[in-house]
Structure 1
Amino acid sequence: MTGLAPNVQLFPIESILDLVTDGVLAIDQRGYVLYANATAHQLLGRKELVGKNCGLPAAHGVGGTDLQLVRRGDMIWAQMRSLPIQWLEQAAYVITLTDITERKRAEENLRITAGVFDNSREAILITDSNNIIVDANPAFSHITGYSRLEVLGRNPSLLNSGRQDKQFYAEMWKTLNHQGAWRGEIWNRRKSGEVYAELLSISAIRDDSGNAQRYVAIFSDISYLKEHEAKLRHVAHYDALTGIPNRVLLADRIKQAIAHASRDRHKIAVCYLDLDGFKPINDSMGHETGDQVLIEVARRIEHSLRGGDTVARLGGDEFVVLLRLEKDHECLASLDRLLALISQPITLKGSSYKVGASIGVSIYPRDNGDADTLLRHADQAMYIAKQSGKNCFYIYDPLADLRIRSQNELFKSIRQALEHNQFEMHYQPKVHLRSKQLLGVEALIRWRHPTRGLLSPLEFLRPIENTELDILIGNWVIMTTLAQFDSWRRNGLEIEISINISAYHLESPGFAHNLRQQMALYDIPLGGLQIEVLETAALADIATVKNIIEQCRRFGVRFALDDFGTGYSSLSYLSRLPVDVLKIDQSFVKNMLEQQADKTIVQGIIALARAFDRQIVAEGVETEQQGEALLSMGCEIGQGYGIAKPMKAEQLQTWHQPAIEKTR
């Protein structure tokens, strides 16, 4: 609002002054306001100024000065100029106030920006729209080695290291032009020629029309980070002791080797090495000596390999060599060379040490697995090599492994079958061939498989021979058969029962003692239990077996040689083992009516049984003619499908009654 001293007439020029953007005041020599235009009221934040002391100094001259003023609690900047005048016949001053707050803020921002530009630890480079350098800060010079004057007017490509190709820069500019910014890692070259890594951010400064006027690049030297990353990568991928690749890097290289082998149709060999004789050295001479041995072994292996091959240390004294093979014989030659190199004496501080190696090998694509599978199979093969005498190699056989895995699955299934009562006993009658009287039964195990139905012993017993399962199954057969035998006797059926026992089970520690304890659970009469031993099984120690048989016979167990005549040592068994019964193998009985040779063998076995005072039983009797022929030769007891097939216990009673009636 315009203000005048009292009783002062308004001049037309004062109306004009109210339109001026600067504040205009007239003050007397004491500082009291004689006049103030509208802008002055706004700048000073007061409604009434005339007649009041505004606190402005008068004598500053035309040059002006910058003042900080308080306007309604806010600080503003104003530039003040003053001139002495005569105001209504008294000395006075005319003061102009120009609001320079925005200018001051801009100047402050420029000072801050300049401070940041000059003091930033990050390099700042500014180019024009043609990518010509127009400014660079001190940090740029510190990082690159170029002074500001050296780079002004030049293209930033003077820093190019050559590590990025043209396609890289084309993609960078494409992103910068479309998005207005680009950020990434780049390798540049210092003035000294040293290549360094930088984290770079570029922004485009555009005008109101969207055209790029400037490009601002900000970057920092991250070489130390790259060096640290490289060290971490080395620690993660290389063995600390020997400096060769470790398990992590090996796995990656095997994967790459598999991919290349599949593409280029060559082979690779994964060779798993375990040192022989290292542990005694490490234990007796200390870890320092042991470490030096490992370092020397790693050096020898590494120097013996071709450029594309790899040696890695898995830990301890285990190494893996990865070989590319064009032909199979290359693998054998490499393995022989490795064994020879490793077995050479190692001299440390005047002392000589000697180690060897057991090597397991898996070859791709014959062993068509992934990296983990090849390594695992090579490890398995290494243990076979170690068990074979050490300082040798063994090449993994996928077919053999398949058989082993199938066997393991079978073992697992048999254990589950025992737990879930899937096994059952069937009984085949043995009769007097003349009277047809039931004399006894042979207990035969069957497996009622949940998916394959009823399985005969031939389908599951052979794979478990000479294993713990052999004994577990044998004990189950004994206990089940004895329980059934006891049940039949309590129901009036008095017959002999025979059980098949493997040679491995018979020779197992404590067999006689365990059998006696099992029999003690039931009322088994003397001679009621007969054990049939397959004489073609390799009885390891005849003297031991004889002793076991004699122990069992003392508590009433009879013994029979099963399938007599089929083994290479029948006569030896007959003369040395105190058995009670000989069983003629069904292969001779089957063809004795047509083949004179088989008939002669049957006659010979019967004659031997009589000579050694042994009872004789014929297996595989399928026809009445065979039964009559056996009777004529002196064999009175037989069993076979012509008499009865193996049957469940509850079926035997039903089968037995008609047989009894038939003999009456």
Structure 2
Amino acid sequence: MIASFAVFIGSFILAYSLVFIAKICHIATSVGWKLLCGLVCFFICCYIGYGYYLWQASTPTIVEYALCVILFFGSVFVAVVSLLSYSSLVELNNAKRDAQYRADHDFLTKIKNRKKLQETSVELIAAHRSFSFMLIDLNSFKEVNDKRGHAFGDQLLVAVAKKMESALLKGNQLFRIGGDEFAILLDTVNIREIYAQNNTLLSHLGTGIKIAGVSLDVRYSAGVSIFLPDLKRDIDQIMQQADVAMYAAKRSQQSIIVYDEEIHNQKKVDNHLHTQSETVFASQCLETYYEPIISAANGDLYGVETRFAWPLPNGNVVTMTQLSAIAHENNRTKSFVSCLLDNVFTDSALLLKTNSQLRIHAELPLNGIPSGLLISTLANCLDQYCIDPSRLVFEITLGSLEISQLELNQLLETLKEMGFGVGGVTCEAGYANPSEIQNLPLSHFKLIGQSIDPVKSRATFETYVYFGKKLGCMVRVANINTDADYDYANSLSSDYLQGGLFSEPLRVKEMINWITSYHATQWTIKKLKPN
């Protein structure tokens, strides 16, 4: 009775172990586990048959009792091994799943990463599926990171990722490529739907983000590349096109631009410019023009402003902002800075021989150019040309700088210590925030407008002239092209004026002749003026 009972218990234990073996068969694909499952089923039948035999037997022998004990503990052994095997496989499977998750997801933001983006894109291309690739770059993230620290920057990235993820439209997927760059794979090639996704992102991010009690406005630039199965392109080409469109959006201060034929043609032009840029910088083929700056108080010549341009064979001109970007993108920053400052100092020496009291203003490009390179090049030019640094005023365009406030302050203070004047420029295309520049060590302040229109620009001009005066700066108003502009700028009590009313931009020799002629005219007027 006891012996048969032990065998029946063993069969139930084997049946219990069969549950874990069946689960193992779902996890592992090995044939061995399926064979084991079949053997356990066979043993269960044997256990039941032997138990029934013992139940019918009158008195089991010692050997039969011993066999019952062996069978019982054998079933326990099978159950324990099955349970432990199942637990180990579950742990391994979880570890594999975690490893796969970590491989496919960004550690910081927990969204899918660049590797997963490439895999998903390749799958879509292989399946001949149409889709759109949106590349997103956060604006001014480096400045926030430098100013408030990397921990704060990490929190900002996490918060931005959550906002973006909540803004995804149906079928779209979000990825983090690295740094402050994100990407969205859109399950559409419809332009309206692409812009709908962009509008949703703008709406979610437009509410702002608050981190550690600090409220931040988050803005981005995005470029989109559309993939159609007919176009034979790989993921690298798609990403490159989106990158080109994204930088076009950044330059034009738009939130999004879709890559098209126009951008493609412009990229060809840019590539040609990049190829030719080293020759231009090395041979100093930049053209330098000068525009006179007149004192608003008495009409005397105060100084000149330097302007640089690279004329193209088709008649177009590459501006200094474009030159700076080209130099940065092609690792030719040192050649560009050297060429730029050599021109400034060479022409300054000629201009100061004509009039030693002139102030020569020149724009100093900062975006993409290391501060240390600017300072060392300026120091070399001072040693080489022996020019009084107080005669030179270097100006920066405010409102579109990519360097941190701390770095900018340090650079301007160094320029002042070297003896140079420093000035700020603001314009209608990107007015500077007064709160960001009120602590900058500026001595000059230049305001540029498309025109001094009574309706559109007067309030802005008056505000910035007042602001410049409050900062203790010498205020200069540019684009004085008519008598009405002149009268209005004078009514604002600005210190200096410049524009087409006085002279068009001239080459250095023409400027020297103009200065000589202007001084002669002013001298004659003053001599003839009655006391």
TM-score (normalizing by structure 2): 0.49
Task: Decide which structure has greater helix share.
Answer: 2
Quick one: higher RCO (CA 8 Å, sep 6+), 1 or 2? 2
Greater strand share, 1 or 2?
A: 1
Task: Give the TM-score, by structure 1 length.
Answer: 0.40
Larger radius of gyration: 1
